Amino acid sequence: MGRTILEKCADMQDKSTRLRLHLSVNFYPPLPERVKTTMVEEFQRHWKDRCHSRTLLDRINRRLKKNNDPIVGLNVLDRFNVFVLPEDEIVGTPPKEKNKWAFPESKVARIIKNVEAVLKSEDADRLSDEAYKFISLKMGFIAHYNLFGFRDVYRNNIREFAEGLLCGEGHIHGNMAGLTDVAPNEHEADRMVQDKFFTDSYGSEYCQRSAEALRGICKAARVYLREGEKTI
């Protein structure tokens, strides 16, 4: 048993030496010593706990990012194949991939709060870039080139903006009189969480957050339109 442990330690030291040499001679511009040390330490950890290669990569990039070290050329493991454990020796599972579409509840709250502020103040210039992007992508509005163009269109038309939040920009005129209790964008919120196409494509978290934002914005629009006998 003692011999086996010593052999493993010797093998790790040998691989560590070869890895440091590889990092020293096969990268240009030369890598800082701290980057080399990070790489060697994380590979040693990989050899010891036999984690999945994607876990190894995540660990490396997390440390490099934390120290503001360069990661160019280190974001793939192709250049380190000889040092990565073969699949049959790996015991760890790959890390769960983050949903690139998902966004936190705090973003939902910010978007809704911003739209409420725009409607309450009747000032389109208060619309944030974050809320603008969500509205133009999700609620049937066109982009009007950019945030500033969008603000300009609705600067003196806040009521139309509120109507559009319910039914989409293309249906502001003509369809409002026949609008049912459930507006098109409220239907869209339901569809986001019920339609398997959306949940499979974007993940349930993204769909849930999108639906929450849609419903919150629609609620704010209804409140605005009903205030002071402003009815749809």
Q: What is the pLDDT of residues 17-40, one digit of tens each?
A: 999 999 999 888 888 899 999 999
- Write down the pLDDT at residue 177: 42
Residue finishing a domain among 21, 55, 89: 89
Report whether pLDDT(229) > 80.
no
Over its C-alpha atoms, the chain yields an Rg (Å, rounded) of: 27
Distance spanning both ends of the chain, measured CA to CA = 81
Q: Kindly report which listed range (26-40, 64-78, 94-108) carries the lowest average pLDDT score.
A: 64-78
- Write down the pLDDT at residue 1: 42
Picking from 95, 11, 9, 77, the residue whose alpha carbon sits closest to that of residue 39 is: 77
- The whole-number average pLDDT for the span 182-206 is 90
Residue finishing a domain among 64, 89, 114: 89
- Write down the pLDDT at residue 70: 67
- The whole-number average pLDDT for the span 70-75 is 58
- Asked, for residue 47, whether it belongs to a domain, the answer is yes
Rounded to the nearest integer, the mean pLDDT of the chain is 85
Shared domain for 113 and 203, answered yes or no, is: yes
Shared domain for 82 and 142, answered yes or no, is: no
- Asked, for residue 99, whether it belongs to a domain, the answer is no
Q: Give the global pTM.
A: 0.58
- Asked, for residue 32, whether it belongs to a domain, the answer is yes
Q: Kindly report which listed range (23-37, 54-68, 73-87, 164-178) carries the lowest average pLDDT score.
A: 164-178
Residue finishing a domain among 61, 89, 117: 89
- Asked, for residue 94, whether it belongs to a domain, the answer is no
- Write down the pLDDT at residue 179: 47
pLDDT band at 75 (very low <50, low <70, confident <90, very high): low
C-alpha to C-alpha distance for 50 and 114, rounded to whole angstroms: 48
For residue 166, what are the CA distances in angstroms to 124, 145, 223?
17, 22, 11
Question: pLDDT exceeding 90 applies to what percent of the chain?
Answer: 56
Picking from 65, 80, 67, 71, the residue whose alpha carbon sits closest to that of residue 26 is: 80
Shared domain for 118 and 203, answered yes or no, is: yes
Shared domain for 85 and 109, answered yes or no, is: no
**Tally of domains in the chain:** 2
Shared domain for 68 and 109, answered yes or no, is: no
C-alpha to C-alpha distance for 67 and 173, rounded to whole angstroms: 55
- Asked, for residue 120, whether it belongs to a domain, the answer is yes
- Write down the pLDDT at residue 178: 42
- Write down the pLDDT at residue 171: 67
Picking from 19, 18, 10, the residue whose alpha carbon sits closest to that of residue 38 is: 19
Helices (H) and strands (E) in the chain — how many of each? Answer: 10, 0
pLDDT, greater one: 156 or 3: 156
Domain that holds residue 39: 2-89
pLDDT band at 89 (very low <50, low <70, confident <90, very high): very high
- The whole-number average pLDDT for the span 62-69 is 82
Shared domain for 58 and 109, answered yes or no, is: no
Residue 98 is given by DSSP the state: P
Shared domain for 10 and 85, answered yes or no, is: yes
pLDDT, greater one: 114 or 6: 114
Shared domain for 133 and 80, answered yes or no, is: no
- Asked, for residue 154, whether it belongs to a domain, the answer is yes
Query: In sequence order, what are the residues at sequence separation of 6 or more whose Cβ sits closer than 8 angstroms to the Cβ of residue 2?
Result: none
- Write down the pLDDT at residue 10: 61
Shared domain for 66 and 165, answered yes or no, is: no
pLDDT, greater one: 167 or 102: 167
Shared domain for 211 and 112, answered yes or no, is: yes
Shared domain for 147 and 212, answered yes or no, is: yes
- Asked, for residue 222, whether it belongs to a domain, the answer is yes
- Asked, for residue 95, whether it belongs to a domain, the answer is no
Q: What is the pLDDT of residues 140-177, one digit of tens each?
A: 999 999 999 999 999 999 999 999 999 998 765 544 54
